[in-house]
Each structure stands twice: as structure tokens, then as C-alpha cells.
Amino acid sequence: MPMSLVGRTVDGRYTVQSHVADGGMGSVYIAMDRRLDRDVALKIMRPDLARDEAFVARFRREAKSAARLAHPHVVSVTDQGADGDYVFLAMELVRGGTLRTVIREEAPLPPGQALDIADAILQALSAAHRAGLVHRDVKPENVLIGEDGAVKVADFGLARAVTTETLTADSDVLLGTAAYLSPEQVEHGTADERTDVYAAALLLFEMLTGRKAFPGDSPIHVAYQHVHGQMPVASDLVPTVPVDLDDLLALGTAKDPDDRPADATAYLAALRATRRGLSESDLEHLPEPADSPVVGHPAGAPDSSPDGHTRAISTNSTDPLRPIDERPDKRPRFRRRSWLAALLVVLLVAGVWVFTLGPLGQTTVPSLRGRTQGVAVAAVQRADLQARVTQDFSESVAKGTVISATPASGDRVRKHGSVTLHVSKGPERYDVPTLTGQTLTAATSALRAGHLTLGTVTNDYSPSVPSGQIISVSPVAGTPSKKGTAIDLVVSKGLQPVDIPDVTGQPKPAATSALTDLGLKVTFGDDAYSSTVGKGDVITQTPTTGPGHKGDTVNLVVSKGPQMVTVPDVRNDTTAQATTALQKAGLKVQVNRYFGGIFDNVRGQTPSAHQSVPIGTTVTISVV
């Protein structure tokens, strides 16, 4: 990138102050944001990339995705755009160095310090993975260490933006830093969250040992080791590394992605669990490297561009690995043969690219199960595929989450093909309908229409529901139920029959209890006098004894006892007068005559006058 940009203002906003570095994608400058009056890092893309419309579209899409990441351990993207032939990205300016510098100058690091840095890196990757972003190019140069010690991960999404755009006619270069490529990237050109986990584990290994896990003289050799080589054990190289960290590294660098944690969140949890099991002395112990020769490149050896982003790596060496002191001199007599070999490699790589990463290639359906619909659709689109969504019920997968995909995750398919996402609608549930008052036939039809089935049917008497209609439902109406759930019904047999007993002559409380205990209702008429039924006892009932039903009403008339009258004074009356007066009072008359009753005069009466006696009582009069 020409130095002439210094002093120019890009997009009417960013005044370029100084040139920092050149890299595989372009150049990095420090610029003043005139709108917000602050310094930013301004990355200007290479002119050949800027002229490629497909690259520019992909770059903008990935930059927008990265700009949505807001996390203290992520270098924030503040702007992106184009100014004439310049396509640029404005980012947070982090003053300090990179993890590469720390490893080169200080590694092996104490385990505690290495875990602190790895923890911050995984926090950043975890935030990206939750947002549906995969970094794809995690390496020390993309981990910035600020002057205040803050750890920040840079260049999210940019590796994807340039993946298919940077194989140029120069052709002895390939995109990527071979030391951190995952086996699936090498073999299939695919990357997902587990790819970032693999690279993060390799960074932790370097911090703990000061060496790359897979050194080599050429990218091809290094890539071969990622797929076929044995991951070294950190404690074999640095004896003070706790063996628990060996297990953590083995987990993150498993060859098969399915054997690694699903994403950075899961690996971060494993890291923190491992750390809790270490003592303070384990964490603070100064490393003591083992006395073993270094094979290949130490971790501090330069392997990337000065700007810290994805150096173009050489492919023109295919010699086997040798210790440094055994490397043969490159003599002029081999130069022609080396160039021919390099040309063959370039042609082979170009052919592989066209039919794998290129427009005629295939892509791998990403891991989609368990992701939310939005995240899954974004992942499918990033894999150069089209997403189609269909919704299905699921008892185990939360609503809005992918149940499965067709083709399945991991399948190789043509680019720009479609992937059907089967997204959960949640558990299949149907509300129990309202069935009370319906006939059994109608209720059965309603259950069938509501994707439910008829359960146990029982019959019972009901004082309010007519015979043949539904009394109750279990589960009750409105209850969400699984498809095919059996719904139990109770059907009315109508009113329950009961024999009405004879309660006449019984005391009112006893008569009432006898009737209500049978489910009968009791009402009372006006109390009446009775000369034959004692006071408080039942004189009559309506209806009388016989068949009835629960809920029927029986009316009772209760006795007030006999009616009392006052005996009139009929002495000195004639027999006729006395008889009339007594009968008028409701009394009966018994006449006893003495001396033939010649004078027809009442001389005495029993009971005596003015006594209170029951109506109908017989009064005896004595007539002379």
C-alpha cells in the first residue's frame, strides 16, 4: 500500500496520520476520526481486493456482523466503507503489542498468567459464537495486549471475507497461518465454533511452553501434522506445567471436532473448572523448560505480517522436517528444480481451490442443531448456502431452536444450494375442549377433532345434568395436553332414585334429617293445631311415602299441639242455652239431669267455668 495515504482524509472523515504495517489484506494506519475527534486504526484493503465486487460485498457483510459484537475483550469495529478505490475498516485503536510479542519475549509463561490470557480470549470467542460468528483465524497476531494489560481479540469475520478472494496469480501463497489451522480446515476447508476452540487451545500451549505445537519448515508440513501428527504434551516440554492442563489442552485439540467442546463457552467452562482444581503454587510456579532440542520454529519466530492479520504463507517447500542444525544449504544448482516443484504445487493448489473453496466447490453444512433460528440461518448463509425454514413440534427442543437440518450437519453439498432447517414450535399441545352438557357422541367427535382421544367413561347420577349428557371432564377444559392424550368423561344417569320414607309423627329435627340424608329437600307449611299429634311433631307430609329422586322436595306440616279454649260459664242457663254456648266454644256437652230436670236450670259444670281446656273437651253440666 503506498505511503501517499499519509496526510489524506478518507471518506471525508479519517485523516491518516501514520503508517503502521502492511499485511496480506492491505495496510494499517493510525488515523484521526474528525467526526468524533479520536484516533482509530484504519485498515485499507489491497486494491485488487477492492476491485472485486464479490469480495467487497462479503467484506461489508462480515464487517457489519463483527460491528455488532460489543465485548470488553473484542476490538470493536466502528465503521466500514469505501472511498473511491479504497475499501476501509475503522477499528478501535489498541496501543500496545500482540500476544506474539509476549510469547516471543516472555514464554513460557506461569500457568496463572497463561490461563488469564486464555480466559479473556475465550470470553471474546464465546461472545462471537453466541452471535453466530466464527473467527476462523485465531492466532497470536490477532490477540492484542494493551498498554494497560487488557486482552482484545481482533479481525472477527475478516478471515471469512477473504477466504475465497486472496488466491492470486502470485500463486506461491495460501491464505492463513498454518500453525493454527484445524484438521477440518486443512482437509475440508470448513470451520465452525470448534475450529476457534482448537486454535485457542494451541495459543494456550504456546504460552505454557514457548513453542508451537506443530513446527515445520513449510505450511504443507505443518498442515499435515495438524491432521496426522500427535499433539505434544506440554508437561513433557515444561515439567512445571500441571498435568491437569495437559488434559485441558488435549480436550481442545482433539483431531475430531466432535470430540472438542461445542464452542468457546463450553471450553471456557472447562478451563475455569480446571483452574479451580489448581493450587496457587501450581498457578504461580515459574516455568522450567525441559532440556530438549527445538525442532522447527520456536513460538517466537515470525510467521505473520506486521499488521497481525493472516500472513500469506509460502507453499514452495516440501522437504521433511529436520532439526535446525541439520538443514541443507540452498545451493544454486537446486534453484531450477525448486521452482519447478513450486510451480507444480501452485497448480495443484489452484485446482484444489477451484473445486473446493472456489465457485465449483462444495461446502459443509455447519453444525445447526440446538441453535436458535436466527443464528442458524446466519450460519447457513455464511457457508454459502440458502436457508429454508420449516416448523415442527418437539417435546425436547425449545421453541425457536433448530431440531435438525436437511442435508444434515457435516454433509458436503454444492455451494449456493439450500438447507432446510427444522425449527421447533415447542411441544405439541392441544387444549381440552369444553364438553360439559354435550352428549357422549358429540364429545367423542370434539375430542377427535382436537387431536385427543376418549379415555375412561363412567356414569353417575346428577341433580342438574340431564341423563346422557357430560357431567365433568378430566383433565379439565382448557388444559394443554399432548396429542392423543386420553380424556376421561363422566356421563349423567339423571336424577338418583330414592324411596321417600314416612316421617309423620316424628319430631321435626328427626324428620328433617331422615329426608335430607337421602338427598331430599325439605320445606315446611304453616304449623297446625292437632289434638292427636304432639306439639313439634310432623302432622302431614307431601308427597307421602313412595318412589322419588334425590333433589325432590318434601313439604312437612308440624303440629302446634291441641287448640285451647276457655270454658264459658253456663250456670243458671237452660239446657239449651248451655249446650249452645259450649258447642260454640268448640266443646262437647254431657247433660246429667237430677229430679228429672224439672226446672231446666244448670246448677253445675265440669270443668268449671273459665278453665282453659283443649278444644273438643267434654263439659258435663248438671241440670235440675
CATH number, domain with residue 14: 3.30.200.20
Least confident of 153-167, 451-465, 498-512: 153-167
Least confident of 171-185, 229-243, 338-352, 578-592: 338-352
Q: What is the mean pLDDT of residues 396-403?
A: 91
Matching residue, cell 287448640: 563
In eight-state DSSP terms, residue 323 is B
Domain tally for the chain? 6
pLDDT tens digits, residue range 322-333? 332 333 343 344
- Name the average pLDDT for the chain: 84
Does residue 152 sit in the same domain as residue 257?
Answer: yes
Which pLDDT belongs to residue 324? Answer: 28
Question: Does residue 355 carry a pLDDT above 60?
Answer: no
Question: Does residue 339 carry a pLDDT above 90?
Answer: no
pLDDT tens digits, residue range 114-135? 999 999 999 999 999 998 888 8
Distances (CA, A) of 383 to 58, 68, 96: 12, 19, 35
Residue 375 belongs to what domain range? 362-424
Does residue 568 sit in the same domain as residue 553?
Answer: no
Matching residue, cell 483452574: 275
Which pLDDT belongs to residue 301? Answer: 41
Does residue 281 sit in the same domain as residue 189?
Answer: yes
CB within 8 Å of 470: residues ≥ 6 apart:
435, 436, 437, 438, 439, 440, 443, 489, 490, 491, 492
Does residue 74 sit in the same domain as residue 209?
Answer: no
- Residue 84 belongs to a domain: yes
Does residue 370 sit in the same domain as residue 444?
Answer: no
- 134 touches 160 (CB < 8 A): yes
Confidence of residue 287 (pLDDT cuts 50, 70, 90): low
Domain finish residue from 465, 492, 519: 492
Q: What angle do CA 535, 539, 540 make, to 5 degrees?
A: 160
Least confident of 107-111, 276-280, 302-306: 302-306
Does residue 147 sit in the same domain as residue 279?
Answer: yes
- Residue 352 belongs to a domain: no
- Residue 342 belongs to a domain: no
Does residue 408 sit in the same domain as residue 483?
Answer: no
Q: What is the mean pLDDT of residues 243-263?
A: 93
- Residue 329 belongs to a domain: no
Confidence of residue 348 (pLDDT cuts 50, 70, 90): low
- In single-letter form, the type of residue at position 97 comes to G
327 exposure class (CB count in 10 Å sphere: 0-12, 13-18, 19+): exposed
Which pLDDT belongs to residue 253? Answer: 95
Confidence of residue 261 (pLDDT cuts 50, 70, 90): very high
Question: Does residue 210 carry a pLDDT above 90?
Answer: yes
Residue (of 28, 27, 31) closest to 7 by Cα position: 31
- 587 touches 557 (CB < 8 A): no
In eight-state DSSP terms, residue 377 is H
* Number of CB atoms found within 10 A of residue 333's CB: 7
- Residue 110 belongs to a domain: yes
Buried b (16+ CB within 10 A) or exposed e, 504-540: bebebeebbebbeebbbebeeeebeebeebeeebbbe
What's the rounded Cα separation, in Å, for the pair 57 and 39? 27
Which pLDDT belongs to residue 314? Answer: 31
* Number of CB atoms found within 10 A of residue 274's CB: 18
Q: CATH number, domain at 264?
A: 1.10.510.10
Of the chain, the percentage scoring pLDDT greater than 90 comes to: 57
What's the rounded Cα separation, in Å, for the pair 246 and 261? 15
Does residue 102 sit in the same domain as residue 172?
Answer: yes
Question: Does residue 377 carry a pLDDT above 60?
Answer: yes
Least confident of 21-35, 529-543, 553-567, 603-617: 21-35
Does residue 181 sit in the same domain as residue 121?
Answer: yes
Question: Does residue 17 carry a pLDDT above 80?
Answer: yes
- Residue 475 belongs to a domain: yes
- 91 touches 142 (CB < 8 A): no
Residue (of 209, 153, 148, 159) closest to 182 by Cα position: 159
- Residue 458 belongs to a domain: yes
Does residue 305 sit in the same domain as residue 232?
Answer: yes
Does residue 400 sit in the same domain as residue 460?
Answer: no
Domain finish residue from 29, 58, 92: 92
What's the rounded Cα separation, in Å, for the pair 21 and 100? 15
- Residue 333 belongs to a domain: no
Grid coordinates of 91: 477499528
> What are the residue numbers of the active site?
137
Domain finish residue from 65, 92, 119: 92
Confidence of residue 343 (pLDDT cuts 50, 70, 90): low
Confidence of residue 524 (pLDDT cuts 50, 70, 90): very high
Does residue 213 sit in the same domain as residue 246?
Answer: yes
